[in-house]
Amino acid sequence: MKWTLSQLQKNRNKDFLIDEMVNLDEIKEIDQTIREVSPIHITGRADIDSKKVTFHLRIKGSLILPCSRTLVDVNYPIDVETTETFLLRGFDYEADEEEVHQVKGEVIDLKPVLQEILLLEVPIQVFCDDGSSEEGAPQSGQDWEVIHEQEKTAKIDPRLAGLAKLLDQNDPSPNS
């Protein structure tokens, strides 16, 4: 996903469509929690003028991340739309632009920008659908078990069961 400025300027008055599959395995070295990265499908277009190049991109793919509870692999789909603007040499930052990238040299390389976008999409916690998976972290052991909130609210502590019975009884004693 690299283009020289001269390649882009040749397409200034034409539709510059993007439809590529990109391998971004390098982000596994940056973020150790990412176990696998599928080939990422990049689609979109570029608007090219004399001062800047604006890419309107849709990024689709998936990441394999560890479940926060069981450590099993979880397929986390990615579907992001973004607009990235690159200022060409000799032009200053315009106040109406949100975030822009300065072009270094004669080449625009989208790969570092795509890596940054994917890293920002990694959630803090991911949970697998099947909590009873045998390949993940153990869910119980000697004198302990992982409990879910629904189970916790439904259970009554057996040590307090006698007290609950006393409170449930309607005491006919006089309140004088």
Mean pLDDT, rounded, for 38-44: 94
Give the pairing type, strands 100-102 and 73-87.
parallel
Can you give the pLDDT at residue 114? 92
Can you give the pLDDT at residue 157? 73
- Structural domain spans, the chain: 2-121
Torsion angles phi and psi, residue 100, rounded to 5: -130, 160
The strand pairing partners of 60, in sequence order, are 41, 79
Task: Dump pLDDT digits (tens) for 118-168.
Answer: 999 999 988 887 655 566 666 677 778 777 666 555 566 777 777 777 777
What is the pTM assigned to this prediction? Answer: 0.69
Task: Dump pLDDT digits (tens) for 22-38.
Answer: 999 999 899 889 999 99
Helical segments of the chain, H only: 5-10, 27-30, 111-121, 149-154, 161-168
Question: Higher-confidence residue: 140 or 45?
Answer: 45
Mean pLDDT of the chain, nearest integer: 81
